[in-house]
A and B are shown apart, each in its own frame.
Chain A
Amino acid sequence: MSSVIETRDVSKHYGEGDTLVKALDRVSLGIAPGEFTAIVGPSGSGKSTLLQLMGGLDNPTHGQVHLANKDITQMSGRELSDFRRDHIGFIFQAYNLIPVLTAAENCEYIMLLQGVPEAERRERVYAMLERVGLAGREGRFPHQLSGGQQQRVAVARAMVSRPNIILADEPTANLDSQTGSDLLDMMHDLNRNEGMTFVFSTHDPMIMERASRLIRLKDGCIDSESEREA
């Protein structure tokens, strides 16, 4: 099956000489549509770097990243901006939301950039916030929401712009285990019912277990890979 995103021999080096860090070393990886994949590994193993390169947030030192048969490493800054806007959903560990925008406005933001008409924007935002269990809280500002609710808004924001894939970098790391587990259930549900492709990094064993595919990183290389029936 063709991949949503494919990395070919991707390396990322930071610094040079004595201080050279090979954050990623020749990683080749394909993500198929509908996957619910976890990237795991100890801190500093290159999880964030891999997600950033797959999402076009940074350019690799070597190698290529392909999305829909386009090499995103060849794109201009502006093309890359628009590529991220239209094809990638990002969820970070914390502080995902713009503090001065309400939950609904945070979700609306990307669609505004995309030029989605206002009526459609509102409809999609309200539907998605309801979908993640935040009906009635659309007008709240981030500081008026709990950590778990904020991450749900982040998921809704990533979903609502209809990307090809959502990349989530340790989305549960700042949450207590129950809230983290609930968030992952919700993401898993979106994966199964809406067909959204998810790649998330984590080092929480409980979270890893939900993944349909597990990629272990160690010192910037893929250490092992396993798949299981969801």
Chain B
Amino acid sequence: MGLTGRLAIRNLARNRRRTLLTAMIISLSLTALMFTDALIQGMTDTMVRSATRLYSGDAQIHHRDFLARQDESRVIDDPQAVLEQLAREPEVAGFAARTLAFGMVSSAANNRAVQVVGIDPEAEAGVSKIAGAMIAGDYLSEAGPVTQLLIGDRLAELLEADLGDRIVVSVNNQLSEAAEQQLFRVSGIFHLNARAMDENLAFIRLPEAQSMMGLDGAVHEIAFNMTSASLATDTSLGLWQRLSNDRWVAQGWTELMPQLATMLQLTNSSTIIAGIVLFILAGLGVINGLFMSIYERTYEFGVLLAIGTRRRQLFKLIMTEGLILALGAIVIGLILGVLLITWSASVGIDYGSMEVSGVALAEIIRPQHRFMQYSALPFWVLIMTLVACIYPAIHAARIVPAKALHKSL
């Protein structure tokens, strides 16, 4: 090691407590940045999965006018062709056709306006989590009676209805343009842990729904999941084109739930802002630590300059001290970061039944490792530290030896 490096290391070792404190500012900033990123990753993942995999699916196909107009007559009248195409797409993991009706459910005690969804039980189980969310009774089955009805636990409470109770469902028939009523029995109660769904959804089998609505094999929605959730946001994939035509359109969740996408973006921006604030605070801490060490050594720098050290060499010495400090601190920060993320991921963070913009954080959040936490973040922390060193280093290099030495002369 050169003399500059040796000098720098020994200078850092001179006031160990201060060096350690300054290093801790850098280390903990890095750890905090890493953990925040990991948490946001985990949270985003959980939220997106709650929002999509619970019920909606990663993507959906509708008649081009259906969502905008909420018009139940805008249907996909040839779902079979679309379903066959979906089966051919390698990125698609599961798909299910649905009918959607704005309807009324009435029990002996109460009425509620809800969305009545007709589903194909087997296909639906490959897209949403309803089958696994049953808390009473059974999921819909092909073999069972035509009067099977699934409602959420909150809706059951509101209707004061229990398993086996009679419920009258009424929806609009598109052919007769009149209300069509039919008697069902509560065959299952689900709990998706998302208020909007547990309160406002009722499921019946697809053929019954189609006949009540006079749809003749047509559906309103085909929901599907991708092999990896992140594929749904990749608009460059060819399948969006292949699954759309002039009448229906396939859209990923960012288009279907723009408020969720916006919120995640907002979360990202606030993380970046918090990160910048953290950077500035850490930078000021580093500047402060280095300045204290430089003020203490003013006389010494005077001697170094007097005996022929160039100003540039003194600048280099301070920067080397900063570099060594930063590298050491970053190693500590990385170790703390890995440990914290790994530990919190294994334990998980339980937000209880917190809902963010109507979407429940149903699952335990597990912070996630990703490459940038170990590459970009330490890199920027290093740059931050070196930038923070420049000011004190320039200050040291500008010391006037005659003045610095005046004290004792």
Within 8 A of B (CB), among A53-99: 55, 57-58, 77-78, 81-82, 84-86, 88, 90, 92-96, 98-99
**Does the CB pair B405–A85 fall under 8 Å?**
no
For the complex, give the distance between the alpha carbons of A105 and B307 in Å: 14
If A81-B310, A82-B310, A101-B7 touch, does A93 touch B402 (CB 8 Å cutoff)?
Answer: no
Contact of B409 among A84, A93, A161 (CB under 8 A): A93
A175 interface contact, C-beta 8 A: no
Contact status B11-A86, CB under 8 Å: no
B144 contacts the other chain (CB 8 A): no
Chain A 28-65, CB within 8 Å of chain B: the 1/0 string? 00000000000000000000100010010110000000
Closest Cβ neighbor of A114 among chain B residues: B308
| Contact A52 B308, beta carbon cutoff 8 Å | no
Is B409 in contact with A52, judged by CB distance below 8 angstroms?
Answer: yes
When each residue 141-161 of chain A gets 1 if its CB lies under 8 Å from chain B and 0 otherwise, what string results?
A: 000000000000000010001
Is A57 a contact partner of B401 (Cβ separation < 8 A)? yes
CB proximity to A under 8 Å, residues B278-316:
299-300, 303-313
Residue of B whose beta carbon sits closest to that of A12: B402
A116 adjacent to chain B (CB < 8 Å): no
User: B10 → chain A, closest Cβ, in Å?
Assistant: 4
> Of B6, B300, B311, B409, which one neighbours A169 at CB under 8 angstroms?
B409
CB neighbours (8 Å) of B310 from chain A are 78, 81-82, 113
Q: Are A113 and B313 neighbours in the complex by a CB distance under 8 Å?
A: yes
Partner of A81, one of B299, B305, B406: B305
Q: Are the CB atoms of A100 and B14 closer together than 8 Å?
A: yes
Question: Once the chains bind, are A98 and B7 in contact (CB under 8 Å)?
Answer: yes
B406 (CB) vs chain A CBs: closest residue: A48
| Nearest chain A CB to B27 CB, angstrom units | 24
A4 at the interface (CB under 8 A from B): no
Contacts of A78 in B (CB 8 A): 310-312
Q: How far is the CA of A57 from the CA of B401 in the complex (A)?
A: 6
Distance A98 CA – B6 CA, assembled complex (angstroms): 12
Asked if A206 CB lies within 8 Å of chain B CBs, one says: no
Which residue from B306, B309, B400, B409 sits with its C-beta under 8 Å from A113? B309
Nearest CB on B from A99, distance (A): 7
- CB contacts (< 8 Å) of B11 on chain A: these are 100
CB-CB under 8 A from B306, the residues of chain A are 55, 57, 84, 90, 92
- Shortest beta-carbon distance from B102 to chain A in Å: 80
Taking the complex as formed, is B109 at the interface, i.e. its CB lies under 8 A from any CB of chain A? no
Chain B residue at minimum C-beta to C-beta distance from A95: B299
Check A92 against B409 for contact (C-beta < 8 Å).
yes
Contacts of B299 in A (CB 8 A): 95
B408 at the interface (CB under 8 A from A): yes
Instruction: Name the residue in B10, B299, B311 with the highest tally of chain A Cβ atoms < 10 Å from its Cβ.
Output: B10
Binary flags per residue of B308-350, CB closer than 8 Å to A gives 1, else 0: 1111110000000000000000000000000000000000000
Task: List residues of chain B with CB within 8 A of the CB of A170.
Answer: 409
Interface size on A, residues (CB 8 A): 32
Q: Does B3 reach chain A (CB closer than 8 Å)?
A: yes
Q: Is A21 part of the contact surface with B, judged by Cβ < 8 Å?
A: no
Q: Are B303 and A109 in contact, with the CB atoms below 8 A?
A: no
> Across the interface, do A85 and B409 meet the contact criterion of CB distance under 8 Å?
no
Q: Are B307 and A84 in contact (CB under 8 A)?
A: yes
Total B residues in contact with A, Cβ cutoff 8 Å: 27
Kindly state the separation between the CA atoms of A94 and B11 in the bound complex, as whole angstroms: 20
Given contacts A52-B402, A84-B307, contact A95 B3 (CB under 8 A): no
Contacts of A101 in B (CB 8 A): 7, 10
Among residues 147 to 193 in chain B, which have CB atoms less than 8 Å away from a CB atom of chain A? Answer: none
Determine the distance from Cα of A101 to Cα of B311 in the docked complex, in whole angstroms. 19
- Min CB–CB distance B294 → chain A (angstroms): 15
Nearest A residue to B310, CB-CB:
A81
Are B303 and A86 closer than 8 Å at their CB atoms?
A: no
Q: How far is the CA of A120 from the CA of B76 in the complex (A)?
A: 91
* Docked complex Cα distance between A90 and B401 (Å): 12
A229 to B311 CA separation, bound complex (whole angstroms): 42
* Chain B residues near A161 (CB-CB < 8 A): 308
Chain B residues with CB under 8 Å of A86's CB are 308
User: Could you give, for residues 385-409 of chain B, a 1 whenever the CB lies within 8 Å of some chain A CB and a 0 otherwise?
Assistant: 0000000000000001110011011
Chain B residues in 8 Å Cβ range of A92 = 303, 306, 405, 408-409
Residues of B within 8 A of A113 (CB): 308-310, 313
Contacts of B400 on A, CB cut-off 8 Å?
58
CB neighbours (8 Å) of A100 from chain B are 7, 10-11, 13-14
Candidate in B304, B306, B307, B313 with the most chain A CB atoms within 10 angstroms: B307
Please state if A81 and B309 are interface contacts (CB–CB under 8 Å). yes
Give Cα A224–Cα B197 distance, bound, in whole angstroms: 104
For the complex, is A230 an interface residue (Cβ under 8 Å from B)? no
Please tell me if A112 contacts chain B, counting CB pairs below 8 Å.
yes
Contact: B311 with A81, CB < 8 Å?
yes
Residue pair B308, A84 in contact (C-beta under 8 Å): yes
Question: Could you jot down 23 A-B contacts, CB within 8 Å?
Answer: A57-B306, A58-B400, A77-B311, A78-B310, A81-B308, A81-B309, A82-B310, A84-B308, A85-B308, A86-B308, A88-B308, A90-B303, A92-B303, A94-B408, A98-B300, A99-B14, A100-B14, A109-B307, A110-B307, A112-B3, A113-B309, A113-B310, A170-B409
Q: Supply 11 further A-B pairs (C-beta < 8 A) apart from A58-B402, A78-B311.
A: A55-B306, A57-B405, A85-B309, A86-B308, A92-B306, A92-B409, A95-B300, A95-B408, A99-B14, A113-B308, A113-B309
Instruction: Show the binding face of A for B, using Cβ within 8 Å.
Output: 48, 52, 55, 57-58, 77-78, 81-82, 84-86, 88, 90, 92-96, 98-101, 105, 109-110, 112-113, 157, 161, 169-170
| In the A-B complex, the 9 residue pairs with the closest CB atoms | A85-B308, A100-B10, A48-B409, A58-B402, A81-B310, A84-B308, A57-B402, A93-B408, A52-B402
Which residues from chain B sit less than 8 Å from chain A, CB to CB? 3, 6-7, 10-11, 13-14, 299-300, 303-313, 400-402, 405-406, 408-409
